[in-house]
Amino acid sequence: MAMILSNFNEIDKNLFEVKDQKETWVRIQSTGPSDKPLPIIYISDHEIDIERGGFQTNIVVSESAYKNILNMSYEYRCDRRRPDKWFTEFGALEIAVSHQGNRQVVCVAAPEISCAYLRGLLPLIDLPDADTRRYPVEELGRRFGCKGFE
């Protein structure tokens, strides 16, 4: 029987911290249980200093794409009250934003909304090697079983 991992933040809060507290990014991570670690995705218009080597990745996009992703993250239709039930549902996403060190969770998305959010991200990831940059988002969508990520 596979071990079920709960919210990564419960395992080790320091393990997934960005080193530079003044960084600007959007972070996407699963909040529900999983039998395997899922990627934690940071999206920014520049390289950020994250702990590498595990399940974290930094997707660098153009400044205009980052602004669109940031706007989408704030405007997405999801609960901002962090409902506890979604932390126990596979496929739930927490979307957090950091701007100059001010961090906040802007969305906790139920599984069906998580898939729509991930699909919405794909066309916004630009730059020449976009296919490679999209891979972590696609992998998360596949692992969640989202339509369109098969």
pLDDT along the chain (150 residues), means of 10: 34 42 84 83 89 80 93 78 63 87 84 90 87 89 89
Entry pTM: 0.79
Question: What pLDDT, on the 0 to 100 scale, is given for residue 82?
Answer: 59
Length of the chain: 150
Q: Which two tokens stand for residue 144?
A: 């969640």
Per-residue model confidence (pLDDT) at position 101? 75
Residue 16, number of CB atoms within 10 A of its CB? 18
44, 58 contact by CB (below 8 A): yes
Predicted pLDDT at 10:
37
Q: Give the residue carrying structure tokens 């891979």.
A: 135
Contact 108, 34 (CB under 8 A): no
Q: Identify the pLDDT of residue 88.
A: 66
Cβ(30)–Cβ(38) under 8 Å? Answer: yes
Cα–Cα distance measured from residue 31 to residue 118, given in angstroms and rounded to the nearest whole number: 15
pLDDT at position 48, please? 85
